[in-house]
């Protein structure tokens, strides 16, 4: 091969390599805008409560007129800038801002009768049920998977007599450490999910107007496919550590318990 031909070949290879590197470096990114996820609790949800025992739970919609049948609301509190096909994803802060569950059937309390159990978010003081979510987008864009973990979920358990509506026990304030067990699918289109509409930047909305360019909304696919999906905050979990913080009307409890 002549020196000139060899030089031309080297220039061509260098140019092609440079183009490839440029494409990798400049690959377009998508922005999953911040908003709220409206979740419903699965039929098989149960929990082993201190001093009560295992209880089967069902969702008690928070505000049907405003949020449909959602019994759990999680805020994604920052935009997630993701690159299609990049499995690293983007990690953002999340906070559970709504939780409302109740027992499927009354639970007998010795000397009290049958009582309904209620689980709500503990909003006393400055405690926030926070964690993080990592969002990954598929190569094709517009869908992908995510994982989430809550470092703390602060919630209150109460029990009310089914006849007199009197308390069956003092309220208990609990702290739960909750991690999702598996990646879960998401997509940018609602496809029949309950929507709360709002402008771009509206934290309470899940369907935003004013999206431009490569901005996307976020809908958990289970909500679309399953009439009673397992909220990521209620699903089968890898780790679930329950700590009794205090019982209303008494001194703070010191016991720790691992819930199965």
Q: Taking residues 64-73, what's their average pLDDT?
A: 94
- Give tens-digit pLDDT for 16-25: 444 344 444 4
In a domain, 5, yes or no: no
In a domain, 4, yes or no: no
Q: How confident is the model at residue 178 (pLDDT cuts 50, 70, 90)?
A: confident
In angstroms, the Cα distances linking 162 to 103, 106, 108, 221 are 12, 7, 10, 37
**DSSP 3-state helix, strand, coil percentages of the chain (rounded to 5)?**
10, 45, 40
Closest CA to 147 of 71, 235, 226: 235
User: What is the model's pLDDT at position 235?
Assistant: 32
Distance of CA 119 to the CA centre of its chain: 17
User: What is the model's pLDDT at position 146?
Assistant: 95
Q: How confident is the model at residue 50 (pLDDT cuts 50, 70, 90)?
A: confident
Closest CA to 38 of 195, 172, 248, 159: 195
Q: Tell me if residue 41 falls in helix, strand or coil.
A: coil
Q: Name every residue whose Cβ is closer than 8 Å to that of residue 156 and which is 6 or more positions away in sequence.
A: 119, 120, 121, 122, 171, 172, 173, 174
Q: Are strands 35-39 and 72-76 parallel, antiparallel or unpaired?
A: antiparallel
- Give tens-digit pLDDT for 190-241: 988 999 999 999 999 999 999 999 999 999 986 433 333 333 333 333 233 3
User: What is the model's pLDDT at position 126?
Assistant: 72
153 vs 239: CA distance, rounded Å? 13
User: What is the model's pLDDT at position 136?
Assistant: 97
Which domain, by its residues, includes 106? 28-258
Q: Taking residues 89-106, what's their average pLDDT?
A: 96
pLDDT at 3 over 80: no
In a domain, 236, yes or no: yes
Q: What is the DSSP string of 180-235?
A: ESS-EEEESS-TT----EEETT-TT-SEEE---TTEE--EEHHHHH-SS---TTTS
In a domain, 10, yes or no: no
In a domain, 233, yes or no: yes
User: What is the model's pLDDT at position 12?
Assistant: 42
User: What is the model's pLDDT at position 192?
Assistant: 86
Burial degree of 241 (CB within 10 A; 0-12, 13-18, 19+): middle
pTM for the full model? 0.77
Q: What is the DSSP string of 225-244?
A: H-SS---TTTS-EEEEEEEE
Closest CA to 85 of 136, 14, 23: 136
Q: What is the DSSP string of 84-125?
A: TT-TT-EEEEEEEEEEEEEESS-EEETTTEEEEEEEEE--ST
> How many independent structural domains does the chain possess?
1
- Give tens-digit pLDDT for 110-168: 888 999 999 999 866 678 999 999 999 999 899 999 999 999 899 999 999 999 999 99
User: What is the model's pLDDT at position 19?
Assistant: 38
User: What is the model's pLDDT at position 1?
Assistant: 54
In a domain, 15, yes or no: no
Are 39 and 88 in contact by the 8 Å Cβ rule? The answer is no
Q: What percent of the chain has pLDDT over 90?
A: 60
Q: Taking residues 70-83, what's their average pLDDT?
A: 97
In a domain, 197, yes or no: yes
């Amino acid at each position: 091969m002549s020196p000139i031909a060899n030089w031309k070949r080297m220039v061509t290879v260098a140019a092609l390599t440079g183009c490839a590197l440029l494409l990798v470096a400049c690959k377009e990114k998508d922005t999953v805008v911040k908003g709220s996820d409206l979740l419903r609790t699965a039929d098989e949800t149960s929990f082993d409560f201190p001093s009560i025992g295992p209880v089967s739970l069902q969702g008690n919609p928070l505000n049907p007129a405003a949020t449909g049948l959602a019994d759990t609301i999680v805020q994604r509190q920052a935009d997630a800038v993701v690159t299609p096909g990049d499995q690293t994803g983007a990690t953002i802060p999340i906070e559970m801002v709504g939780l409302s569950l109740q027992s499927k059937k009354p639970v007998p309390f010795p000397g009290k009768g049958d009582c309904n159990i209620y689980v709500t978010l503990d909003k006393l003081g400055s405690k926030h049920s926070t964690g993080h979510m990592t969002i990954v987008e598929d190569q094709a864009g517009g869908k992908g998977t995510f994982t989430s973990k809550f470092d703390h979920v602060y919630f209150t358990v109460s029990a009310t007599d089914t006849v007199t509506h009197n308390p069956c026990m003092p309220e208990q304030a609990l702290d739960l450490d909750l991690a999702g067990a598996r990646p879960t699918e998401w997509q940018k289109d609602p496809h029949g999910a309950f929507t709360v509409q709002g402008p771009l930047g509206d934290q309470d909305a899940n369907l935003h107007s004013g999206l431009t360019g490569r901005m996307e909304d976020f809908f958990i696919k289970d909500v679309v496919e399953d009439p009673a999906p397992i909220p990521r905050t209620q699903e089968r979990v890898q780790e679930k550590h329950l700590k009794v913080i205090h019982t209303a009307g008494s001194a703070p409890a010191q016991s720790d318990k691992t819930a199965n």
